[in-house]
Chains A and B, each alone.
Chain A
Amino acid sequence: MNLRFRRLISQVVFFFSANLGFKIEGIFPGLKTGFCYPFFYCHACPSATAACPLRAIEIGVYEGKWNWKLIFYPILIISFVGVISGRGVCGWACPIGLLQRVTGKVAKKLKKKQPFLKKLGQHRLEPYLRYLKYIVFIGLVVVTPILVGFMFTDICPVGYLVGTIPISILNPGEFSPNEFFYIALVIFILFIVLIFTVERGWCRYLCPIGAMLAPFNKVSKYQVSVDKDQCIHCNICSNEACPMGIDVPNMERDPECILCGKCIEACPKDVIKFEGR
């Protein structure tokens, strides 16, 4: 079984396990746990099995209340998976990663057809845009809930996608929009545009869970390593394969690496491999 197929199976399994909260009267009661997702998913989803780690942190710090249990619980869960696999969760488990697996193909085709998008991806400022996710995490998940009571999850595009839209469809006409609805709608449209134009655009630039997991790539048990002595610098891994746009031959435990293994499959010399400490 090749790596791509194994990853697809893993993503599908995690997608279903994240959505076991639905009820079928008399048949299935719905699995609702006290767990926080270690990836990006929303508890507003009608079939959500667990809670959103970001919302837990936000409520934990909300207006300076400092509910340490709610702050540490998601952080410890994410740290645990981070220490083992770094951002491997983004590549192998996250349902939004699965979504971007589909949209990434469109983004790749668009990049070939539209030179503008290719230039945008190679712009000298592009690496700095990747710091946006840290700003989103610290700014909107931690600082604004403390200072002004504004929470990122109120305008979260993933909440809109898996919460607001399905709930509205399942219960037509039963809801009224709140004050964040239209802002969230605009952000959701931008999110869709982003993931259809930049491969893994959400993971690269904006995902707050990715921001939490990224530093663990430096210490994680599993990583992708390159035998630099044997590398012929054909750059197939970087230019053709890597969905995160990493300079693979020169990477050393890169915080952006999602351990998807596409570079491993693409390498003609087999000098890239998964490595466990």
Chain B
Amino acid sequence: MKKTLKNALVITLVAGLCLSFSGIVAAVDPSYEEIIVSPAEPPRLSEVSFSVDVTGENIEEVRVIVEECTAQICYPDLRNESMTNTQGNTWEGTVTLIHDDAIYCTTWLVIKSDGTWYNFKDLRKEFNLSIDTGNGDTNGGDGNGGDGAPGFELILLVISLVLALFIYKKKRRR
């Protein structure tokens, strides 16, 4: 009985030490798993919402950084917006995209913990901007369509041109 108690005490001590050590580590290094972007593929120039669970102690400030890119180059004017702690570890923020020719964006966090800023550029996440063929808001589009047809009307134009060409050729043969 005495031996069992002694063992239990040792295990409790070791477990306590481990837990407190992990607590110290968490306090030193804030971290996050995944930034949730909403909508997942936003249109150009739209407002994008970001939500993330940040772990760590004494998180004072969380900022979301968004970089807009086109082809193989990115704009240097990074969007840097403050996030608010909505509940528990969850932080939320919004960013309005400003470039009308961007194709995709990358985003990451900068976290202030215990007076120190941590930049998580290495954990950056990429998200594409929408090529929505249904509302005229493609990567080639301007977002002002919204009539449910842009693009398709051009197909009709092509079909009518081809038909006109056939009719013209038939008439010429006669």
CB proximity of B123 to chain A, nearest CB, Å: 14
Which B residues from 45 to 92 make CB contacts under 8 A with A? 69-76
Q: Mark B25-54, 1 if CB is under 8 A from A, else 0.
A: 000000000000000010000000000000
Q: Which of B4-12, B15-23, B150-158 contacts A (4 or more CB under 8 A)?
A: B150-158
Specify the main secondary structure of chain A where it touches its partner.
mixed
Known contacts A44-B71, A177-B72, A178-B72; A33/B150 CB under 8 A: yes
Q: Mark A148-169, 1 if CB is under 8 A from B, else 0.
A: 0100001110011001100110
Known contacts A44-B70, A56-B133, A73-B151; A51/B139 CB under 8 A: yes
Set A34, A35, A49, A163: member contacting B70, Cβ < 8 A: A163
Is the beta-carbon distance between A35 and B41 smaller than 8 angstroms? Answer: no
Chain B's closest residue to A154 (CB) is B72
Chain A's closest residue to B143 (CB) is A32
Is the beta-carbon distance between A32 and B140 smaller than 8 angstroms? Answer: yes
B141 close to chain A: CB less than 8 A: yes
Q: Which residues of B contact A52 (CB under 8 A)?
A: 139
Bound-state CA distance A209–B151 (Å) is: 19
Q: Which residues of B contact A237 (CB under 8 A)?
A: none
Q: Which residues of B contact A163 (CB under 8 A)?
A: 70-72
Bound-state CA distance A175–B69 (Å) is: 9
A132 close to chain B: CB less than 8 A: no
Which A residues from 167 to 204 make CB contacts under 8 A with B? 167-168, 174-178, 180-181, 184-185
Known contacts A36-B151, A73-B133, A160-B71; A176/B162 CB under 8 A: no
Residues of B within 8 A of A (CB): 41, 69-76, 101, 103, 106, 126, 128, 131-142, 145, 150-152, 154-155, 158, 162
Q: 5 A-B Cβ contacts within 8 A?
A: A21-B140, A55-B103, A154-B72, A181-B73, A184-B72
Residues of A within 8 A of B (CB): 21, 30, 32-36, 42-44, 46, 48-52, 55-56, 59, 62, 69-70, 73, 77, 80-81, 84, 149, 154-156, 159-160, 163-164, 167-168, 174-178, 180-181, 184-185
A-B contact sample (10 more), CB < 8 A, given A51-B133, A163-B72, A178-B74: A30-B142, A33-B154, A34-B150, A70-B133, A77-B155, A155-B72, A156-B71, A164-B72, A167-B101, A175-B74
> Lowest 6 A-B CB distances belong to which pairs?
A34-B150, A163-B71, A34-B151, A44-B71, A51-B140, A175-B73
